[in-house]
Amino acid sequence: MAEASIDVVGIGNAIVDVLTRSTNAFLEQNDLPKGIMTLIDGDRAEEIYGLMGPGVEISGGSAANTIAGIAQLGSRAGFIGKVRDDQLGQVFAHDIRAAGVRFETPLAAGGPPTARCLIMVTPDAQRTMTAYLGAAHEITDDDVDSDLVAAAQVTYLEGYLWDPPGGKAAFRKAMAICAANKRKISLTLSDPFCVDRHREEFVDLVENQVDILFANEEEIISLFQVDTFEDAVAAVRQHCEISALTRSEKGSVIVTNDHMYEITAEPVASLVDTTGAGDLYAAGFLHGYSQGLDLALCGQFGAIAAAEIISHVGARPEADLKTLIGHLIP
């Protein structure tokens, strides 16, 4: 196989986030289940937008956040995801390229508008997300650039994109390219509800295709339908080469077949908005991994990147991540 000329390529929903400060009462009044991501249609998106407070628009999308973080850490990164050629689509394309990411997915000339995620941040820094996926769900396997995926050491798949048929087809094409080129496949389970929607297929992916799995405690317990985190760890280590399991303020655990590393969470001076915590953990981890560093160090990079992202509004880094991890570079 040829040497990888890209470190990580991500495939996921291309989304612009609209963030607003909110209250628990607002969430209850509008039937918005706290802390999770709800899929909504265009009409409901208009309705919630009309009710919510003034917003801030920042490029988002789970895998896109991860990939932007990886590029800002200094790895060579690419992203595949679908926006329309409208103003928000131009914003998305600008921001991911400005972060140093190779992004060449053609912008859709017609069809639904660029995806938007309305994010309500409550005073406890928790985020409640309602996503109108628009153009993001119009992705097809044609959007998967074979050369890009073949050239990447790791292809990172966002579980959320298993929802639309075109996303699934895109993933299957990418996984076949990875297998043919002996590249690594990484998957994030995205969300416990996403796991509920696709449990059987996700278990199959994890058992047979995925090399590096990202999940939080709730997602991994749900995937294997077990009672405890320890049982989930026991299950996952039989299948995946590496699993990086996040536990919020309890830190993270990295599990291989025969090793386990416990990583403490990085302290945060002021917890502002948890949007993107998992995404940036994956960014730090995959940056370290693609540089061939020890797994424990990969986990520490993840913890540092996650701590940066939850200290401000939005899921794209504001501080220089490279500087933040600098003291740990061997």
Shortest reach from residue 16's CB to a copy of itself, in Å? 8
CB of 295 to a copy of itself, least distance (A): 29
Identify the bridge partners of residue 128 per DSSP, sorted by sequence position: 120
Nearer to a copy of itself, 50 or 292 (CB): 50
Opening angle at CA 163, ends 61 and 67, nearest 5 = 25
Whole-number minimum distance, CB 57 to a copy of itself, in Å? 4
Which residue, 232, 185, 189, is CA-closest to 209? 185
Nearer of residues 83 and 265 to a copy of itself, judged by Cβ: 83
Q: Which residues bind a copy of itself (CB under 8 A)?
A: 18, 20-21, 49-50, 52-59, 68, 86-88, 91, 94-96, 98-99, 113-114, 314, 316, 318
d(CA 120, CA 294): 37
Nearest alpha-carbon partner for 7 in 79, 97, 93: 79
Task: For the CB of residue 46, give the shortest distance to a copy of itself in the complex, in Å.
Answer: 10
**231 contacts: CB under 8 Å, gap ≥ 6:** 221, 224
Q: Which of 206, 210, 209 is nearest to 220 (CA)?
A: 206
Distance of alpha carbon 5 from alpha carbon 159, whole angstroms: 25
Report the residue number, 173 or 316, with the smaller CB distance to a copy of itself: 316
At position 189, the amino acid (one-letter code) is L
Give the nearer residue to a copy of itself in terms of CB position, either 57 or 145.
57
Q: Among residues 59 and 300, whose Cβ is nearest to a copy of itself? A: 59
Q: How far is the CB of 61 from a copy of itself (least distance, A)?
A: 13
